[in-house]
Amino acid sequence: MPSSSSHNPYASTYERMSGNCTRLVAAHIVSTISPPITSSSYILDSACGTGIVSEQIKIQHPNARIMATDLSPAMIEETQRRIETEGWTNMQTDILDVRSLSTLPDSTFTHVIINMGLLAPGDPESGTKVTREVFRVLKPGGVAVLSIWADRVWPTAFFNAARGVRPHERPQHGMAQSPDVMRGSWLLKQLEDAGFGNNVELRPFRTHTSAGSLEELVDNMMLAKGFFFAGYSDEELGRAKELLEAEARKLRTFEEGEGGVRIGMKALIGVGWKRDDGQGEQEGVEVGVNTREGMVDLLAPSTSTLPIGSRSEV
């Protein structure tokens, strides 16, 4: 799979910062989605970013019909470039806010996928807005799959590095999220209240950010320095980077092997099915976990299988 690194600096930064973690989630979503993608499916890849979900769909279903949307023109530009260079067919793009899919008609898509795009910075109601739009554009009988982070782990290394450089200041966190929006109960409520009722399921998934070496991993992490080290001098940034390497190694999910290094992370995947019998949320269907109590059975999450340090595109 061709790399995007030489074409769009913003998209390139996103790919390096993620270290494959969102790609692993996307691959799992696409390979396990039910009902499965078929030749008659029409899929919305909303908040598509650099086209990672669409990429995974095209790997597994080359002829699938996809609409990829994102609020960022840079991301849509990168996705469009990939369509052209990688020869993806039967695919469209549009610049749309995931919270307001204003140009998309009701009941259009058989599948809607949003991978880590549910939360909009500065908008505490984004979850409600997004899931309502998802339900609106989904066809009866269709399925929506949305992922969020439950535990990113690596911000702890930034906090400790910041404390080492500026011990009397509270560490910055430009990527901060309320603990509430990293809980499965929150994700289930968004789907239930949007119209899916109790036709929902929650799945945990373990993924990781990886690199060929610890030095490369820290270089990639430092691309997020503006969120944690804003206003630091060059000297302070140098010290912060040295400390970040040491702190990354201390993280509880850090692993090092012959192929490289990685930091484990935990995602939550929410699934909602839109009933096609006109009864909405009045009656549930037997589709996995659909109650708060059922969440206690989710203590053995799915695990990604990408080898440590692999740069695989899958």
**49 closest CA partner among 26, 21, 68:** 68
Encoded tokens for 298: 């989710």
The residue behind tokens 């970013």 is 49
- Residue 275's alpha-carbon distances to 67, 82, 189, 288, in angstroms, are 22, 34, 17, 16
The residue behind tokens 């340090």 is 309
Cα distance between residue 125 and residue 185, in whole Å: 16
Per-residue confidence (pLDDT) for residue 13, from 0 to 100: 73
Cα distance between residue 314 and residue 310, in whole Å: 10
CA atoms within 13 A of residue 143's CA, in its CB half-sphere: 16
Cα distance between residue 205 and residue 203, in whole Å: 7
Express each pLDDT in 164-190 by its tens digit. Answer: 999 999 998 877 778 888 999 999 999
Handedness of CA 121, 303, 109, 60 (dihedral sign): positive
9 CB neighbour count, 10 Å cutoff: 10
- Phi, psi of 30, rounded to the nearest 5 degrees: -65, -40
H/E run at residue 43: strand 42-46
Per-residue confidence (pLDDT) for residue 276, from 0 to 100: 87
User: When comparing pLDDT for 290 and 32, which is higher?
Assistant: 32
Express each pLDDT in 87-140 by its tens digit. Answer: 999 999 999 999 999 999 999 999 999 999 998 888 889 999 999 999 999 999
- pTM as predicted: 0.84
* pLDDT band at 278; cut points 50, 70, 90: low
How many whole angstroms from its chain centre is CA 48?
9
Assess whether pLDDT exceeds 70 at residue 154: yes
Assess whether pLDDT exceeds 90 at residue 208: yes
**115 closest CA partner among 26, 42, 177:** 26
51 dihedral zone (left: phi>0; alpha: psi -120 to 50; beta): left
46 dihedral zone (left: phi>0; alpha: psi -120 to 50; beta): beta
35 CB neighbour count, 10 Å cutoff: 12
Per-residue confidence (pLDDT) for residue 84, from 0 to 100: 95
The residue behind tokens 């890849």 is 45
